[in-house]
């Protein structure tokens, strides 16, 4: 990401002149980037969320291009909007970088951001540029969205509901393991998913309309994120291992059975949607993988696999850094 | 900012448990921090802007406390909302930090953020935490606002308008110079303004209602920011030096006449509001400091002081870093 033209060789207006024309606008954008702030038409409720990626923590240049990181940081933010039952409408993007960072990396990154926004029908509303100490590159995105009905929270799961997933399980973590082992040819689709998650954005509002009682996107793994729904809703979620067998089988050839199960149960960065629905109201494309019940006497809310409680696992930013 | 309890000694949930209770909510906040995203009631148009501060670039720990930085990053974001003619409603806050950063600094910072938000009637909608390489601390804020009428852009100034300012000029830059010279006792009010800007937030929507034709907040200095209005509006702005004499006089005792004039004309981080109004429609509290005219034959749009064109000056992130 260094080499080529360093950012410090351009002034801020020149740099913005290279960046801004690549960004999509939208019919709802009343004031586009360039003034003090953007102005966006919206309905009565606006959704807002933010997520940041840091070089060396969230990505390595050996494994991901600038465009990959652009796709990924947009996808993980828009997934949070979808997981509330909303339609993403716009993003703000902040780049904080070592002035030695190459302009070529930045323009590739901007291309990835713009492609991901265009694909989702989302406008780039604005952003900020700032310099950072040597070696630091950080991209922070805030996503806004429109909510037509009621938000789908994590706390609404009720006894008798079905737990269901929309999208893949464990693929992104499998891709990370293949990159770490330098065996990417064993399952290229997993490596591609690690680089560019594909959250099923339209499925979020569809689930809300179908009566989903709780929903989130899988960023930290099925056990940890499922446990969040269980604890917020004060219920027990029984995962059905047989329902996960196809997901495990899809990864076993490349990783072996044990690692494949790990990926499916605890793999992060997948950004598929996990939700609970009243029995009989599962929309098309969702797969039932468990059920919701009230805790038995003395039992703690949480997630249970084949009758055994499991601890949530996953990444912790400051401890695991 | 190190020493005390390092962030790495807490897990993310413990850290959030220490941070979130200090943040103000609001009656418009439908879903508070803790779910995938926040949900906010709003009217038909939402304003969005983002601004980031980086340790060593935007502040030094020797000169500013964590609480000062919290106040400042909120103030500079809310000023951008006000400069569109809007009412700020909420912020999202991202902290990217070295895991050795002390919890005490973070809690002091959060106190400053919360105080500034409470004073402005603004809710904390959400945020993100991420770790960073050694020595890095960065705070990124996105502010949202409500726009009741039309946005006031930079491009609406017209010949015959009056240029006016609401708030002080040069005080924050004077404070920076006193900190650099270790002579803070010469003008403590300037040092306090450098640490904690006080944008006149309510004056933004008031100016919009009074018919302001262009507006921005002074983040990069009167000449540079005034030049932005002039170029966006394709007009010439004549600054009246006599109108700035009281501002210069207020700083001359501490800095000498030449540095005082520099601060007033080119000092950044003031976050006062600069706007143009049709003659006779200046709201209370605004001071006329210039006038707007069409360019003479061959003259470039820009800002003119006592009849002489002046180059815009100011900070450039990647070049001056």
Please indicate whether, in this complex, the C-beta atoms of B96 and A132 are within 8 angstroms of each other. Answer: no
Name which of A8, A48, A81 is nearest B144 (Cβ-Cβ): A48
Query: Would you say A2 and A95 are in contact if contact means Cβ atoms under 8 Å apart?
Result: no
Q: Which of A136, A61, A128, A65 is nearest to A100 (CA)?
A: A136
Please indicate whether, in this complex, the C-beta atoms of B50 and A7 are within 8 angstroms of each other. Answer: no
B286 has binding-site annotation: no
Strand partners, B141: B51, B93
**pLDDT digits over A41-100, tens only?**
887 789 999 999 999 999 999 999 999 999 999 999 999 999 999 999 999 999 999 999
Residues of B in contact with A229 (CB under 8 A): none
The residues near A298 (Cβ < 8 Å, ≥ 6 apart) are none
B315 has binding-site annotation: yes
Count CB atoms within 10 A of the CB of residue A257.
Answer: 12
The residues near B60 (Cβ < 8 Å, ≥ 6 apart) are none
B269 has binding-site annotation: yes
Complex confidence, ipTM: 0.90
Q: Which of A158, A177, A99, A104 is nearest to A134 (CA)?
A: A99
Q: Which two tokens stand for residue A297?
A: 């006497």
> A206 to each of A80, A81, A202, A211, B24, how far by Cα in Å?
15, 13, 7, 9, 32
Residue owning tokens 């960046």: A19
**pLDDT digits over B37-57, tens only?**
888 888 778 999 999 999 999
Q: Is B46 on the interface with A (CB under 8 A)?
A: yes
Q: B14: part of which helix (H) or strand (E)? A: helix B12-19
Residues of B in contact with A274 (CB under 8 A): none
Strand partners, A102: A6
Name which of B8, B126, B140 is nearest A321 (Cβ-Cβ): B8
At B316 the pLDDT is: 55
Statement: residue A312 has pLDDT above 60? no
Please indicate whether, in this complex, the C-beta atoms of A142 and B92 are within 8 angstroms of each other. Answer: yes
| Phi, psi angles (nearest 5°) of residue B268 | -90, 180
Residues of B in contact with A130 (CB under 8 A): 52-54, 57-58, 138, 317
At A168 the pLDDT is: 97
B294 has binding-site annotation: no
Q: Where are the alpha helices (DSSP H) in chain A?
A: 12-19, 66-82, 103-120, 171-180, 188-195, 203-209, 222-233, 241-255, 257-266, 317-320
> A236 to each of A155, A156, A207, A230, A302, how far by Cα in Å?
12, 13, 21, 6, 5
d(CA A244, CA A232): 24
Q: Which two tokens stand for residue B163?
A: 């240029």
Q: What value does the mean pLDDT take over residues A27-31?
A: 80
The residues near A273 (Cβ < 8 Å, ≥ 6 apart) are A79, A82, A83, A165, A166, A167, A199, A200, A203, A204, A207, A215, A216, A217, A218
Q: Where are the alpha helices (DSSP H) in B83-221?
A: 103-120, 171-180, 188-195, 203-209
Q: Which of A303, A266, A274, A289 is nearest to A172 (CA)?
A: A266
Please indicate whether, in this complex, the C-beta atoms of B128 and A140 are within 8 angstroms of each other. Answer: yes
pLDDT tens, chain B, 321 aa long: 777 899 999 888 888 888 888 888 777 778 878 788 888 888 778 999 999 999 999 999 999 999 999 999 999 999 999 999 999 999 999 999 999 999 999 999 999 999 999 999 999 999 999 999 999 999 999 999 999 999 999 999 999 999 999 999 999 999 999 999 999 999 999 999 999 999 999 999 999 999 999 999 999 999 999 999 999 999 999 999 999 999 999 999 999 999 999 999 999 999 999 999 999 999 999 999 999 999 999 999 999 987 777 765 554 556 554
A148 has binding-site annotation: no
Q: Which residues 216-255 on chain B approach chain A with CB closer than 8 angstroms?
A: 216-217
Please indicate whether, in this complex, the C-beta atoms of B36 and A58 are within 8 angstroms of each other. Answer: no
Please indicate whether, in this complex, the C-beta atoms of A128 and B145 are within 8 angstroms of each other. Answer: no
Name which of A36, A99, A215 is nearest B80 (Cβ-Cβ): A36
**Which sequence spans correspond to the domains of chain A?**
7-146, 162-320
d(CA B100, CA B55): 14
| Phi, psi angles (nearest 5°) of residue B77 | -75, -45
Q: Which two tokens stand for residue B104?
A: 């005490």
Q: Which residues 86-145 on chain B approach chain A with CB closer than 8 angstroms?
A: 86, 90, 92, 94, 96, 99, 125-133, 135-136, 138, 140, 142-145
Please indicate whether, in this complex, the C-beta atoms of A136 and B131 are within 8 angstroms of each other. Answer: no
Residues of B in contact with A125 (CB under 8 A): 48
Residues of B in contact with A321 (CB under 8 A): 8, 99, 131
Count CB atoms within 10 A of the CB of residue B243.
Answer: 15
Q: What percent of chain A has pLDDT over 70?
A: 96
Q: Is A310 on the interface with B (CB under 8 A)?
A: no
Phi-psi region of B167 (alpha: psi -120 to 50; beta: other; left: phi over 0): left
Report helix, strand or coil for A275.
Answer: strand
Please indicate whether, in this complex, the C-beta atoms of A49 and B41 are within 8 angstroms of each other. Answer: no
Query: Would you say B54 and A130 are in contact if contact means Cβ atoms under 8 Å apart?
Result: yes
Q: What is the mean pLDDT of chain A?
A: 92
Residues of A in contact with B7 (CB under 8 A): 318
Q: Is B14 on the interface with A (CB under 8 A)?
A: no
Strand partners, A146: A46, A87
Pick the CATH number of A162-320 from 3.50.50.60, 1.20.210.10, 3.20.20.80, 3.90.650.10: 3.90.650.10
At A316 the pLDDT is: 55
Q: Which residues 142-181 on chain A approach chain B with CB closer than 8 angstroms?
A: 142-145, 147, 151, 153-154
Q: Which fold has domain B7-146?
A: 60s Ribosomal Protein L30; Chain: A; (3.30.1330)
Residues of B in contact with A233 (CB under 8 A): none
Please indicate whether, in this complex, the C-beta atoms of B54 and A131 are within 8 angstroms of each other. Answer: yes
Name which of A86, A92, A321 is nearest B99 (Cβ-Cβ): A321
């Amino acid at each position: 990401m260094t080499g080529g033209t360093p950012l410090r060789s351009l002034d801020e207006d020149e740099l913005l002149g290279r960046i801004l024309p690549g960004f999509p606008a939208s019919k709802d954008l009343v004031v586009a980037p360039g003034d003090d702030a953007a102005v966006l038409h919206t309905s009565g409720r606006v959704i807002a969320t933010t997520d940041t990626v840091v070089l060396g923590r969230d990505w390595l240049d050996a494994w991901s291009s600038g465009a990959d990181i652009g796709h990924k940081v947009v996808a993980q933010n828009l997934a949070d909007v979808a997981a509330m039952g909303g339609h993403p409408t716009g993003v703000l993007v902040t780049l904080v970088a070592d002035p030695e960072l190459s302009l070529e990396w930045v323009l590739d990154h901007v291309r990835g951001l713009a492609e991901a926004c265009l694909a989702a029908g989302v406008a780039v509303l604005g952003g900020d540029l700032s310099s950072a100490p040597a070696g630091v590159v950080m991209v922070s995105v805030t996503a806004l969205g429109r909510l037509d009905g009621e938000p789908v929270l994590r706390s609404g799961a009720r006894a008798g509901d079905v737990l269901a997933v929309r999208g893949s399980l464990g693929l992104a973590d499998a891709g990370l393991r293949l990159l770490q082992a330098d065996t990417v040819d064993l399952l290229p689709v997993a490596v591609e998913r690690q680089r560019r998650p594909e959250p099923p954005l339209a499925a979020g509002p569809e689930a809300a309309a179908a009566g989903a009682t709780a929903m989130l996107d899988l960023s930290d793994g099925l056990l940890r994120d499922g446990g969040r729904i269980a604890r917020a809703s004060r219920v027990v979620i029984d995962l059905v291992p047989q329902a996960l067998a196809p997901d495990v089988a899809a990864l076993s050839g490349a990783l072996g059975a044990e690692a494949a199960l790990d990926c499916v149960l605890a793999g992060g960065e997948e950004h598929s949607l996990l939700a609970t629905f009243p029995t009989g109201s599962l929309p098309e494309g969702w797969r039932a993988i468990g059920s919701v019940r009230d805790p038995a006497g003395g039992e703690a809310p949480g997630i249970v696999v084949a009758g055994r409680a499991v601890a949530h696992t996953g990444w912790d930013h400051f401890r695991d850094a």
